[in-house]
Structure 1
Amino acid sequence: MAAVARLRSVVVDCPEPRELARFYAAVGGGVPEEQDADRVVLHIPAGPRLAFQRAEGYAPPDWPSADHDSQQFHLDFDAGGTWAEVDEAEGKVLALGARVLDREDDEKKGFRVYADPAGHPFCLCRVEQP
């Protein structure tokens, strides 16, 4: 089936677009480009374009939510082929302001779940080696 359109951006609501764009630039690479005071775009090398927009009254998703509300979306980052590489990446994202949401059964699942500084969930994934 032919595509109707090409994905341009994943847009993320947040309270402080500059801060969150800098966080994800440190995690995935790229340089944040400020569009205006309320919107910053980040082109991640060999990855998606992320746009961060100020949302008045922003409330982060609850993860996991007791009433099973949807988290809406999350981002997955390949962090390496070994758990030592994932451990190293974990130390770096925690130093940037992330916090751990779930490490239970991470070796079985192949990923660990964190919250970014605005509370959005994201994962550091161990890349399966062939």
Structure 2
Amino acid sequence: MPVATYCLVAVDCPDPAALAGFYAALLGGDLKQDSDDWYDLYAPGGHRIAFQRAEDQQPPQWPRGDNSQQLHLDFEVTDMSAAESLALSLGAVPLDLDDQDGQRGFRVYADPAGHPFCLCRA
């Protein structure tokens, strides 16, 4: 029997408002400010991502293993080109776009704070 219930993923970043805005524009949903140091995104489907201030947060160096990425977020998309265009226009940075002629099924980006995330073919 489980003893815990999933609540959220918290993402450290130097500017919670800006990073929460990036993900709200990418995913949709409702953005709520708890304080200047904490924002919650209630994304469609009932998922919650929180963004908390961490002034000294250092982004990982993709794909190096000596500077651990800790975690990354995956997002399913039905139109990779449209999703990529939107992500890039919002400030995402391409890290690994080689999807092996569509065989791999995902592409890797960094959000504006440097956290890796993937757009994955649905």
Shared fold (TM-score greater than 0.5)? yes
Match of 2:118 in 1: 123
Structure 2 Cα separation of the partners of residues 102 and 20 of structure 1: 21
Question: SS at the partner of 2:109?
Answer: strand
TM-superposed CA distance for 1:120, in Å, is: 0.4
Structure 1 Cα separation of the partners of residues 105 and 90 of structure 2: 22
Question: What's the TM-score once normalised by structure 2's chain length?
Answer: 0.93
Asked whether 1:90 is paired with 2:96, we answer: no
Match of 1:100 in 2: 94
Match of 1:49 in 2: 48
Give the number of the structure whose residues are more often helix, by fraction: 1
Identify unmatched segments of 5+ residues in structure 2.
none
Q: Which aligned segments of 4 or more residues in structure 1 are displaced greater than 6 angstroms?
A: none
Q: Among 99, 108, 113, which residue is 1:113 paired with?
A: 108
Match of 1:64 in 2: 63
Identify unmatched segments of 5+ residues in structure 1.
none
Amino-acid identity (%): 53
Match of 1:73 in 2: 71
TM-superposed CA distance for 1:39, in Å, is: 0.5
> Could you tell me which amino acid in structure 1 is paired with residue 98 of structure 2?
E
8 Å CA contact 2:12, 2:52 repeated in 1:
yes
